[in-house]
Structure 1
Amino acid sequence: MDQFDVKLLQALQSNGRLSNFELADVVGLSASQCSRRRAALEDTGAIASYHAHLDRELLGLGIVVFVQVTLATHSPDNSRRFLKLIESLEEVQEAYALTGEADYLIKVTITDLKALSRLLNEVFLPHDSVAHVRSSIVLDRLKQTSQLPLGHLVPAEARTAERSGSRRRQGKAAAGRDHRRRAARP
């Protein structure tokens, strides 16, 4: 993977609908080269899929909750039963197995508190694999991104060259402003 592939991935993370012509402008390659590189990145799985990002609030899903779950017993069979439960719930957006106090952290998106109460009290708590449930309702989202940090894929010398090129462009722009100000003085 080279710096062109990284630029292509960064551009597609920002806007997955970019055409190969638009990518060519961003990446600095021809449209046909961008097309071949995109196809290669898709074939290797580096680009796993493309998605439409939906507005949850506009669609009536006003509450995000993080649910910590502790299993009743720690056995492969119990873990499979819990996984089957999680996979069956459309409200579950993400689920993580954890180290520490809780066994799982579940991100749930749901319509309202009544629906949350039903999910916790009628689905999670009575399930035979679950011993303990603790929920935290999100008050405010400070940051959300699906974009992965890709800076580690760019060689250090390319990052240094890009930063110094950016500084030179900034310096030239500042010098141009100073020159225009001096020329405008009476």
Structure 2
Amino acid sequence: MTESAALDKLDRAILRRLQENGRETYDVIGAQVGLSASAVLRRVKRLEESGVVDRYVALVRPEAVGVGLTAYLNVRLEKHTEGHKRNPMEVFRASVQNWPEVVECAALTGEMDFLLRVVVRDMAHYSRFIMDTLLKHPSVQDCKSSFVLDRVKSTTAVPV
């Protein structure tokens, strides 16, 4: 079920409820969408098995755990690096997986190659990450940073 056309009105309603509260009971969801709990369970299992529902997580407020500074970094890579048999993009993609400060990484079109969302404790932590990790990476040529002043909208829900 990779195409959105395969989702009917009830599937979409269930997905909206799960995105609002992934711990909601099937009884409550069923009452909201007009199905029995067992029918909701069957639909949710199908959505999970088909990959529409990827996983369930707890969303943690960064400030509540001491990582209150968020920055977006545009990263440009060297096109050729010496000493690596792998493509610089592949080397960078593999490295990013091990950097806990990076909570999101997207490959981009245009002038820059990647956009990173980084969460850190403070400016000193940010500086250490940039100087000791990112800029020391053999594939990285340049980066430009923008700091988040205020989150105007923050959601993990996709429109269904």
Rg larger for: 1
- CA shift, 1:2, in A, is 1.2
Structure 1 alignment gaps of length 5 or more: 151-186
Which residue of 2 is the match for residue 51 of structure 1? 57
Runs of 4 or more, structure 1, over 3 Å off, are none
The C-alpha deviation readout for 1:37-60, integer Å capped at 9, x for no partner, is 111111111111111111110110
Q: Which amino acid aligns with 1:141?
A: R
Deviations 1:92-148, CA, capped at 9 Å, x for gaps: 010011111111100001111001001111111121101101111111110000010
Please tell me the root mean square deviation across aligned C-alpha atoms, in Å: 1.2
Cα separation, 1, equivalents of 2:80 and 2:150: 34
**What is the identity percentage for the equivalent residue pairs of Structure 1 and Structure 2?**
37
Are 1:71 and 2:71 counterparts?
no
Aligned residue identity for 2:58: A
Cα distance in 2 for partners of 1:132, 1:93 equals: 20
TM-score normalised per structure 2 = 0.90
Q: What's the counterpart of residue 3 of structure 2?
A: none
Unmatched segments (≥5 aa) in structure 2: 1-6
Aligned-partner residue type, residue 5 of structure 1: D
Q: Deviations along 1:73-94, whole A, 9 cap, x unmatched? A: 1586211111122111011010
Match of 2:144 in 1: 134
For 1:77 and 1:86, the matched residues in 2 are separated by: 15
Letter in 1 for 2:157: Q
2:153 and 2:80 map into 1 onto residues whose CA distance is 34
Q: What's the TM-score once normalised by structure 1's chain length?
A: 0.78
1:153 is matched with: none
SS at match of 1:105: strand
Distance in 1 (CA, whole Å) between partners of 2:110 and 2:95 is: 22
Q: How far apart, CA to CA, are the structure 2 residues paired with 1:32 and 1:74? A: 56
Indicate the SS of the match to 1:133.
strand
Amino acid at match of 1:6: R
The structure carrying a bigger helix percent of its residues is 1
* Counterpart code for 1:28: G
Cα 1:74–1:96, aligned 2, differ >3 Å: closer, same or farther?
Answer: farther
Amino acid in the other structure paired with 1:128: P
